[in-house]
Amino acid sequence: MQPPNSPKIYPSTSTETQGSWYAILAVAIGAFALVTSEFLPVGVLNSVATDLHISVGTAGLIITLPGVMAAFAAPLLPIFVKQLDRRYVLIFLTAIMVVANTITAFADSFNLLLVSRLVLGIAIGGFWATAIALSGKLAPAKLPIAKATAVVMAGVTFATVLGVPIGTWLSEFYGWRSAFGITAAIGLIVLLLQIIFLPKLTPDAAIHLRDLPALLRIPKARSGMLIVLLIGLAHFCAYSYLAPFFKNIAGFDGTTISSLLLLYGIAGIFGNAFAGYSGNLNVRYTLAFVGICFAIVFFGFPLFAIHEFGAIVLTALWGFAFGAFPTSANIWMFVHAPNAVEKGMPLFVCMFQVMIAIGSLLGGYVVDHFNENILIYGVISFVVLALISIFTLAKGLNNPKVTCEN
């Protein structure tokens, strides 16, 4: 029985339900390929830097630039495509991802590598602005929005579980380019699945420039965006340089680093599942718990992660926290601003990509001019501010008391 203050919010039933498990899984697998593409450099940053004779901080631009491009693509692409069937948009963006990864795999210079990563950014921004907002239409009838969102976000989790660690492992034996080539091949399979299973996805209305701040106009959504921004900056500043920390500070070998990244992803599965359930009960407390987990990780990492046991415990907790984080963030918007999600999601995705770009850029600067320990200690301040916001700006902000079929 549901607690009185924790409703299940369901996908729209105002029109014929077009969603199915095949459709939402096709998008979830697309999310897997996309996130693997975006964050694969985290595990191979050392290899890229060595191969192309650049510093680790400079190599970090291959994480920063997709985020910058995605930040522009997320709000602008939905405006550009107007009321075009989003099925074709998702398929087109998946094709762009395949092309970008293919170029990355064969890039013979750092400049060409950066171009391919910029192209990938178009797919990243457009995909997330489209896919998350349409979770309700993709989902089977009577599947709660929180769970539908968790299914799509499971693709993100499995990318960290399988994509990044396996990519890191492949780079150890076959070179970093092989990892991107295999990701391009996976993208082709995803493309075929989407062509077969995606239903017609006509938007409720065309999105205009004036619609983008839809979430910002709602106080509950504004509070959530600030909290998400602070936690996200903390995570992405530190996460991009996780592998360099393990190599340069802890002195772990490639096999150990791959195993730790695998553990990070496995823990993320549990974090994603936790957020899908807990967020449906009280998303504010869920996000507070996530913030506390991050605070423990960042405080303890420089002290204890230099030893294998400490690295195992803290990496698992970090993975759990991040597995829950994006799912909680999206559920917050669906719960507190359900009518503004489709039009406001592009700007929300833009904010996420800005977090990734600024985080990796700031992290790269600190790593090049100081070290990974200074970076990890520095981001604690972002988490502290987020927790203060949760218990002040968002005080008493609980899930709606009435069940609504939005």
> Bigger pLDDT: 30 or 163?
30
Which of 37, 18, 165 is CA-nearest to residue 95? 37
Has residue 5 got a pLDDT over 70?
Answer: no
Give the tens place of pLDDT for each residue, 127-144: 888 877 776 677 777 777
Note the pLDDT of residue 15.
Answer: 42
The stretches of 18-141 forming alpha helices (DSSP H) are 21-51, 56-59, 61-81, 86-106, 110-131, 135-138
* Average pLDDT value for the chain: 84
Give the tens place of pLDDT for each residue, 22-31: 888 888 888 8
| Displacement of CA 219 from its chain's centroid (Å) | 24
Has residue 311 got a pLDDT over 90?
Answer: yes
Has residue 318 got a pLDDT over 80?
Answer: yes
Question: 125 — phi, psi (to 5°)?
Answer: -65, -45
Predicted model pTM: 0.74
- Write out the two tokens for 365: 């600067």
Distance between CA atoms of 242 and 318, rounded to whole angstroms?
11
List the domains of the chain with CATH numbers: 21-390 (1.20.1250.20)
Has residue 351 got a pLDDT over 80?
Answer: yes
In this structure, of 161-170, 253-262, 301-310, 355-364, the range with the lowest mean pLDDT score is 161-170
Owner of token pair 């420089």: 302
Q: Each residue of 121-148: b (16+ CB within 10 Å) or e?
A: bbbbbbbbbbbbbbbbbbbbeebbbbbb
Cβ contact 197:26 at 8 Å = yes
Could you tell me the CA-to-CA distances from 271 to 42, 243, 245, 267, 316 in Å, in that order? 20, 21, 23, 6, 10
Could you tell me the CA-to-CA distances from 213 to 122, 127, 248, 391 in Å, in that order? 21, 19, 42, 25
The stretches of 14-55 forming alpha helices (DSSP H) are 21-51
Span 247-271, average pLDDT: 87
Q: Each residue of 345-368: b (16+ CB within 10 Å) or e?
A: bbbbbbbbbbbbbbbbbbbbebbe
Question: 307 — phi, psi (to 5°)?
Answer: -110, 150
Has residue 66 got a pLDDT over 80?
Answer: yes
